[in-house]
Structure 1
Amino acid sequence: MSNVFEFVAESRGCSGTTAARGVRRQGKVPAVIYGGHAEPKMLVLSHNEVVKHLEHEAVYSHVLDVTVDGKTEKAILKGVQRNPAKFQILHLDFLRVSMSEEIKVHVPLHFINEATSVGGKKGGIATHSMVDVEVTCLPGALPEYLEVDLVKLDIGETLHLSDLVLPVGVEIVVLQQGAEHNLPIVSMMASKASKEDSADDASKAAG
């Protein structure tokens, strides 16, 4: 099995829309790797291999090996263009990284313990306001995902960005702009069933 964190590519000399279409007609994916104090380089990758790699969520929040004509560079996946009408990857953008320079990457949020949370046991339903968050850190400290533990969340309560437990060396980009950017991540809402149960309990207590 190929390494899902390695993208093997060939360099291509031509750029532009016409050249990209020609690459796609060959069943391949045009791409570019840029940044990192080097000139941008146009690439060609196998469509089938790209599709297999993109099935893994971790690819989007990992430092990758991009091997071009046998030479490997460290990079992160900054952009994926897809054809919405059919199962086709149109273009990839890779950003070179230095292991000694901070990067900004969107990292997925994994929500745990909803069913066993305080609110969940009462029939509450978690409503997610975010599915990922942009962080800044050195490449070596980049987390695959951030865990959001709902176990203590009660109905009517909300977790915010500042409630996230971050690995050492990882910061949330938007929080660097001030406390007013402490956005909600997830709220525990009362379901219709839990509201009816509460109403029944209230009427029994009154009667």
Structure 2
Amino acid sequence: MKVVAFERSLQGTGASRRLRNAGKTPAIVYGATAEPQLIELDHNALFHALKKEAFHSSILDLEIAGKSQQVLLRDVQYHPWKQIILHVDFQRVDPSKKIHTKVPLHFLNQETSKAVKQGGAVLTHVMNEVDLVCLPANLPEFIEVDLTNVEVGKSLHVKDLNLPKGVELAPHVEQENPVFLSVTVPAAVVSEEGAAAEGGDAA
């Protein structure tokens, strides 16, 4: 995704307020071997871009003064109650160095999974994103999780994820191996099944 930004020289609360009043959002881009750079972006364009999942988890082409650089969105500060973006942080990406970032999980075939259709189970998303490490060129936009054959009573851990080649779990995530999806049967379903079984025995 391409993001167009403009250089800014003034900083401070007053300067930022004037920018926002003019429909701009102050931002900064930092990292790699270059000095941090103060920039500004069109607020409305940024507001709509932030609604797209890929804007948060993909390598972005940030264009400043006609020159492009690859960046990751690292932080967004919102106004406490107004729909206003106060500030944005971008981090430059070195193509030769691995990056550590969060990538969303996309759950497929949830309604048609055996656990739901046959077992009356409820699938609980414990995590909707996962910390990954990879080279920028290998960064996936999302990780797909096929729930077709998930079993009742089973929990899926992050090590069960099918990661693309060149993509690894972040070290602390691999070590902890947390659950990202649990498959449980509600108590009401269990009691109904028990009552039905007892009724069958009585007959």
- Indicate whether the TM-score tops 0.5: yes
Indicate the residue corresponding to 1:164 in structure 2: 161
Indicate the residue corresponding to 1:69 in structure 2: 65
Contact kept? 1:77, 1:95, Cα under 8 Å: yes
Per-residue Cα deviation, 1:95-130 (whole angstroms, up to 9, x for no partner): 000111111111001111222222101221111110
Aligned residue identity for 1:111: F
1:187 to 176, 182, 189: 182
Per-residue Cα deviation, 1:47-79 (whole angstroms, up to 9, x for no partner): 011012112111111111111111111101111
Contact kept? 1:154, 1:188, Cα under 8 Å: yes
RMSD between superposed Cα atoms in Å: 1.5
Indicate the residue corresponding to 2:193 in structure 1: 198
Aligned residue identity for 1:64: L
Indicate the residue corresponding to 2:132 in structure 1: 135
2:18 partner SS? helix
Deviation at 1:174, TM superposition (A): 4.1
Unaligned runs of 5+ in 2: none
Q: How many residues in Structure 1 have an aligned counterpart in Structure 2?
A: 201
2:123 to 103, 123, 126: 126
Deviation at 1:193, TM superposition (A): 4.6
CA, structure 1 residues 176+50, in 2 after alignment: closer, same or farther (shift >3 Å)?
closer
> TM-score, structure 1 length as denominator?
0.91
Matches within 5 A, 1:51-62: 51-62=47-58
Contact kept? 2:158, 2:174, Cα under 8 Å: no
> TM-score, structure 2 length as denominator?
0.93
Matches within 5 A, 1:96-135: 96-121=92-117, 122-135=119-132
After TM superposition, the structure 1 stretch with the greater mean CA deviation from structure 2, 48-57 or 133-142, is 48-57
2:86 partner SS? strand
Q: Percent of counterpart pairs with the same letter?
A: 40
